[in-house]
Amino acid sequence: MNHDDLDRLLGDAFDARARAAVPDSTAPPAPRFADAAAADAAATDLAATVLAATDGAAIDHAATGHGAPVLPATRRRRARWVAPLSAAAAVVAAVGIGVAVANSGHGGSSGPAASSGSTSAFRADPGAKPVHISTLNDDGATYGVAMPVVAYFTGARVTDGRGLQAATTVTVNDRPIEAAWYFEPSSAGKGPLEAHLRPQNYWPAHSAIHVSIAARGISAGKDLGYDDDLSVDFKTGAQTVVVVDSTAHKLYVNIDGKNKLTCSVALGAPASPTRRGTKVIMNKQRKVQLTGPSGTTAKQYDEPVSYAQRLTYDGEYLLAAPWDTALHRGGKPANTSSGSTLLTTADAKKLYSYTAIGDPVKYSNATGPAMQLGAGFGDWNVLWSTWLTGGAVRTH
Amino acid sequence: MAVWRLVGVDTDGGSAVPAIEPVDVRALYDSHWHQLVRLAVLLVDDVASAEDVVQDAFVALHRNADKLRDPAAAVGYLRTSVMNLSRSVLRRRGVARKHLKVAEPEATAGADHDVLLRDEHRAALVAVRTLPRHQREVLVLRYWSGLSEREIAQTLGISTGAVKSAASRGMATLARVLGSNGFGGTR
C-alpha cells in the first residue's frame, strides 16, 4: 500500500467513524457552561435593579430584562463578561436614561426608557433647514431577525441624534421594546450619514415589528429640523442563523433552534480572506453577473452566478460555485475565493430556500479582518454599550 | 482586499471602527460541538465519554473567555482541552481496568458504530487503536482535523520534530499492518 493510498484510507476511515458516531442530525445538548452563566446573570440583574431603585429612577425593567427575549444565552454571556468598569458604566447609563425620562414629564413609569422619551426638548427652531428621512425597509416585508431598520437622510448632515431617538417608538407584537439608533457615514452612499435602528439582541422571531418615527418638527441639530413623520411595519420570520466554521469548512443553518443544513464550503484565499464577525444577508439574487476579483492582477472574471446572497457592500457573497470541483467531489475544500463563501450548486440552492434578507451569518473564526459596521449590515459586531453612544452623533 | 464585486456598485466603505465583542462561547458551541465530539470519539472511542470531554472543554473555555479575544485562538484552546481531557479519560480507564479487572470497555466500544463501516475502514481503525497514544493523537489531528505539523505541535505542546517522528512511525506501522491483510490496493 503506498503512502497516498494510506493517507486517503486513514482520512476516510476517521471520517466514516466520526460521522457514524456523531451524525450531523445529532442536536448538541444544552451546554453545561450555561448553568454557571445563568447564576451570574441573575446576580448582575439584581445588582442593576437595586442600583436603579436606590437612585430613585423608575426604569421599566422590562425594557432591559425582557424586551428582546430572543437569545437568552447572549444576554447571560454579556452579563457575565462585561468588565467591571464597563458594567458599572452601563448601569449608570441605564439609570441616566431613566432620569431623563422622569425629568421630561413622562414619569418614566411605563414603556421602554430609551424609545418613548418626550420630544419636547428637541423641537426644531422655526426656520430650521429641513432634513428628510427615508428608510430602506419595506412596509409589509418579512425579514430575518438581524435586519436593522436603516434610515437615510437628505437635505443636510444630521449633527445631533437625540431628537430622532426621542421621536422613535418601537413595538414588537404591540409591546414596547428598547431600540436605539446608531449613526455612521452612509455606506449606501445616500447622504453623508445613515442611521441603523436595532434592539440589543436580534428581533424576536415570528413577530410583528412597528417602528414609529414622529420626527416632523424635531431637531436634527442646530438649525436643522426633520420634515417628515414615518412608520415602518415589518414582520420577522423564523430565527434562522447561519454559522460558517472556517476551520472545518462547514456551514450550518439553524432554524428556530433546529439544525436544518450542514454542508461544506470554501472561503476566501489567503490573499483575500473572508471577514470575521457577524454579517447579515443584504440581498438575494437567483442569478447575478459578477465581475472579479478586484484589486489584483489575477485573472478577471465576468460570470453569471446562481443563488447569490450578498453579505457586504464590496461583494462577499454566499453563492453556488459550480467551478469548484473539489467542493463538488466532496473532497477537502480549498480556500480559493475572493472573499465569498462558495457552496455546491445543490447546497447553495437549499440555503437560498431557507434564508431571508436580514438573516445573520456568523463567521466566528474566519481568518480575514474584523467585519466593520459599514462594510455591510455589520451592526451586530458593535457592543450594545457602544451602540447606545450613537456613533457619529450622540443619541442619548 | 480582493472580493467579488457587483458591477457598478459603489464601494465607499464606512469609517466607523466598532469594538469586537469577546469570544462568543455559545456560538462556538453551536458551530463546533459536532466537530469536537467527533475528535474526542476518535481518541476515546465511545460517544458518551466524548460528549463529556467536550462539555468539560467548553466549561473551561467559558471560564477563561474574557482572556481570549480571538475566536481562532479559542478553537485552538478547545482542541487542546479535548486532547488533554481525552487523555485523562483513557488514563482513568486504564486505572479502573488494572484494579477492577472488568471487561475492557474500549475493546468493544465503537463496535456498534464500526459495523456500519466498510471493511477497509474498520481494519484501519482497529490498527490505529493499537498505536501508542501520542502516535494516534498525531494521526487523528493530521488526517482527520487536517492540521499542519506546526498546528499539531502547538495543540499537543510538543516540537514539530516530535510530530514528524510520531506521524512517520505511526504510518509505518499502519502500512505494515494494513499492507499485509489484503486491503492494500483496494482503492
ipTM field: 0.80
Q: B22 contacts in A (CB within 8 Å)?
A: 81
Range among A311-315, A345-349, B58-62 rated most confident: A345-349
Q: A12 contacts in B (CB within 8 Å)?
A: 121
pLDDT digits (tens, 9 = 90+) for B7-44: 322 233 333 333 345 678 888 888 889 999 999 999 99
pLDDT digits (tens, 9 = 90+) for A320-366: 988 887 888 877 788 888 888 999 999 999 999 999 999 999 998 88
Q: How many residues belong to chain A?
A: 396
Residue predicted with more confidence, A334 or A235: A235
Cβ atoms of A108 and A57 closer than 8 Å: yes
A-chain residue closest to B74, CA distance: A365
Q: A273 contacts in B (CB within 8 Å)?
A: 1
Given this model, what pLDDT does residue A335 score? 84
Q: State the alpha helices, DSSP H only, in chain A.
A: 3-21, 33-54, 61-65, 72-81, 84-101, 162-167, 325-329, 345-354, 384-387
Reference A137, options A58, A198, A96; nearest CA is A198
Q: How many residues belong to chain B?
A: 187
- Determine the straight-line distance between the first and last CA of chain B, rounded to whole angstroms: 41
Grid cell of A265 as nine digits: 464550503
Going by their DSSP bridges, the two strands A129-135 and A224-226 should be labelled as parallel
Q: A32 contacts in B (CB within 8 Å)?
A: 55-56, 58-59
| Count of helices and strands (H, E) across chain A | 9, 20
Asked if the C-beta of A27 comes within 8 angstroms of chain B's C-beta atoms, the answer is no
CA distance to partner chain B, nearest, from residue A105 (Å): 34
Cβ atoms of B174 and B127 closer than 8 Å: yes
B-chain residue closest to A184, CA distance: B16
> Above 90 in pLDDT, residue B184?
no
- Please name the member of B6, B13, B25 whose beta carbon is closest to the beta carbon of A77: B25
Rounded distance between C-alpha atoms, residue A140 and residue A123, angstroms: 31
Cβ atoms of A214 and A115 closer than 8 Å: no
The owner of cell 458594567 is A87
CB spacing of B3 vs A378 below 8 angstroms: no
Rg (CA), chain A: 23
The overall average pLDDT reported for chain A is 77
Asked if the C-beta of A298 comes within 8 angstroms of chain B's C-beta atoms, the answer is yes
CB spacing of B26 vs A310 below 8 angstroms: no
CB spacing of B187 vs A314 below 8 angstroms: no
C-alpha B41 chain-centroid distance: 8
- C-alpha angle A102-A105-A108 in degrees, rounded to nearest 5: 35
Residue predicted with more confidence, A291 or B147: B147
Mean pLDDT of B65-90: 84
A-chain residue closest to B55, CA distance: A32
Collapsing DSSP to helix, strand or coil, B112 comes out as helix
pLDDT digits (tens, 9 = 90+) for A129-155: 999 999 999 888 999 999 999 999 988
CB spacing of A11 vs B175 below 8 angstroms: no
Mean pLDDT of A59-68: 31
- Please name the member of B37, B56, B71 whose beta carbon is closest to the beta carbon of A365: B71
Q: B41 contacts in A (CB within 8 Å)?
A: 17-18, 21-22
- Please name the member of A6, A26, A338 whose beta carbon is closest to the beta carbon of B34: A26
User: With 0-12 CB in 10 A as exposed, 13-18 as middle and 19+ as buried, what is A205?
Assistant: middle
CB spacing of B34 vs A365 below 8 angstroms: no
- Please name the member of B9, B116, B146 whose beta carbon is closest to the beta carbon of A313: B9
- C-alpha angle B156-A250-A302 in degrees, rounded to nearest 5: 125
For the four alpha carbons of B143, B148, B150 and B151, in that order, the dihedral sign comes to negative
A311 to each of A32, A132, A245, A339, B25, how far by Cα in Å? Answer: 33, 28, 16, 10, 23
CB spacing of B146 vs A29 below 8 angstroms: no
CB spacing of A10 vs B128 below 8 angstroms: yes
Asked if the C-beta of A340 comes within 8 angstroms of chain B's C-beta atoms, the answer is yes
CA distance to partner chain B, nearest, from residue A193 (Å): 10
Given this model, what pLDDT does residue A132 score? 93
- CB environment A123-148: b (16+ within 10 A), e (fewer): ebeeebeebebebbbeeeebbbbbbb
- Please name the member of B4, B42, B65 whose beta carbon is closest to the beta carbon of A292: B4
Asked if the C-beta of A257 comes within 8 angstroms of chain B's C-beta atoms, the answer is no
pLDDT digits (tens, 9 = 90+) for B80-109: 999 999 988 888 776 654 444 333 334 344
Q: A242 contacts in B (CB within 8 Å)?
A: none
Rounded distance between C-alpha atoms, residue A327 and residue A347, angstroms: 10
Given this model, what pLDDT does residue A39 score? 52
Q: B169 contacts in A (CB within 8 Å)?
A: none
Cβ atoms of A287 and A304 closer than 8 Å: yes
CB spacing of B6 vs A373 below 8 angstroms: no
A-chain residue closest to B119, CA distance: A13
Residue type, A273: P
Asked if the C-beta of A28 comes within 8 angstroms of chain B's C-beta atoms, the answer is yes
Q: B75 contacts in A (CB within 8 Å)?
A: 247, 365
